[in-house]
């Protein structure tokens, strides 16, 4: 009799454990489904302090104890003076890594909003560290318009290009007051391209009919499956020329000293060549530009991060606890 009671008790405990695990799994799944993405939050980091941390890390190995104490004391005094100097120049460092759709433009807009709430016209500067081979006209046109918001409020903008700012990427760079590029960075490509694959002949060969109903002569001048007529092709080409003309006009408006007929032919150049063409203003890496500015200005890196959902917070907490337990076990074994 006792044996069967023990079996029943064991089965009940097992059932409760399974039910608890199942309930937890269900809760986590429900949270994962119901947790909507939160708004992005602004993150600000002092780059001056980052440089100071680098220096102290090296001095910790290079200097004796007395010299290190003196440097720490001097740094605290310098940091206090820096924070109390409200009149000093501030440089806000933003980043933009472009893809075909310029999908980072929304984040860039949020960061510019944040900067404009505190930036002082005529005093502060924004350094945009830009990397993009270009993409859609609409996406990069919007990105350039976001940058112009800063200039319209008399906040100086410097575009820093370490690798590439071509086509739409160069359109963004032009929206800045100055363009600083590494010698082997690629810039330019002031042109427009629109690949249009067409399968009409393949469908016709296989006796497959395709009909597309439109209202308006040029509602669909070219398409993937329909026949491209000479009139449709000419109309589409005209739209490309109009877009290229708008691109040329924008570059000339932002950089009036360039020979637009020479540089707006779709070609690209290394920055060392582009300097003589007026496409860039200075040869320097972004890191060097900021390094030189660290003693005369306060540098702040401004970025956006999505707020974590509840499930992400739970999982990150579990991960932290697991790492702490592993470190504790390793220390005990050691």
- The catalytic position among 65, 205, 219, 296 is 219
Q: How many residues does the chain have?
A: 334
* First-to-final CA distance of the chain: 49
Give CA–CA dist 334/325, Å, rounded. 14
Q: What 3-state class would DSSP assign to 132?
A: strand
- The catalytic position among 132, 160, 167, 189 is 167
Give CA–CA dist 92/43, Å, rounded. 12
Bridge partners (DSSP) listed for residue 41: 305
Q: 182 φ, ψ to 5°?
A: -65, 150
Question: Any catalytic annotation for residue 167?
Answer: yes
- Sequence-distant (≥ 6) Cβ neighbours of residue 314 within 8 angstroms: 28, 31
Give CA–CA dist 26/311, Å, rounded. 12
Longest CA pairwise span in the chain (Å): 101
Exposed, middle or buried, 150 (CB in 10 Å: 0-12/13-18/19+)? Answer: buried
Give CA–CA dist 110/122, Å, rounded. 22
Question: Any catalytic annotation for residue 303?
Answer: no
- Sequence-distant (≥ 6) Cβ neighbours of residue 152 within 8 angstroms: none
Known catalytic residues are 167, 219
């Amino acid at each position: 009799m006792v044996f069967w009671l023990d079996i029943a008790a064991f089965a009940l405990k097992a059932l409760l454990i399974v039910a608890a695990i199942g309930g937890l799994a269900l809760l986590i799944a429900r949270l994962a489904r119901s947790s909507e993405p939160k708004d992005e939050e602004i993150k600000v980091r002092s780059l001056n302090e980052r440089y100071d941390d680098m220096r102290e890390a090296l001095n910790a190995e290079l200097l004796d104890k007395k010299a290190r104490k003196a440097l720490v004391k001097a740094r605290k005094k310098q940091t206090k003076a820096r924070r109390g100097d409200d009149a000093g120049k501030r440089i806000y460092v933003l980043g933009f890594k472009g893809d075909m759709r310029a999908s980072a433009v929304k984040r860039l807009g949020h960061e510019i909003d944040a900067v404009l709430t505190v930036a002082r016209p005529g005093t502060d500067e924004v350094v945009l560290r830009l990397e993009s081979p270009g993409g859609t006209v609409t996406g990069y046109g919007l990105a350039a318009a976001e940058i112009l918001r800063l200039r319209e409020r008399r906040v100086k903008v410097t575009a820093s290009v370490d690798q590439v700012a071509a086509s739409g990427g160069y359109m963004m760079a032009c929206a800045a007051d100055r363009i600083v590029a590494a010698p082997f960075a690629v810039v330019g490509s002031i042109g427009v391209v629109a690949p249009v694959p067409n399968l009409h002949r393949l469908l016709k060969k296989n006796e497959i009919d395709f009909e597309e109903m439109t209202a308006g002569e040029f509602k669909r001048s070219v398409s993937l499956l329909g026949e491209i007529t000479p009139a449709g092709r000419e109309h589409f080409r005209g739209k490309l020329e109009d877009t290229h003309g708008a691109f040329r006009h924008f570059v000339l408006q932002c950089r009036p000293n360039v020979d637009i007929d020479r540089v707006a032919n779709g070609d690209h150049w290394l920055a060392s060549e582009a300097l003589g063409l007026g496409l860039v203003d200075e040869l320097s890496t972004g890191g060097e530009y900021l390094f030189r500015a660290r003693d005369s200005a306060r540098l702040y890196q401004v970025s956006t991060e999505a707020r974590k959902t509840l499930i992400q917070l739970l999982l990150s907490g579990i991960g932290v606890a697991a790492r702490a337990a592993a470190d504790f076990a390793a220390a005990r074994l050691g």
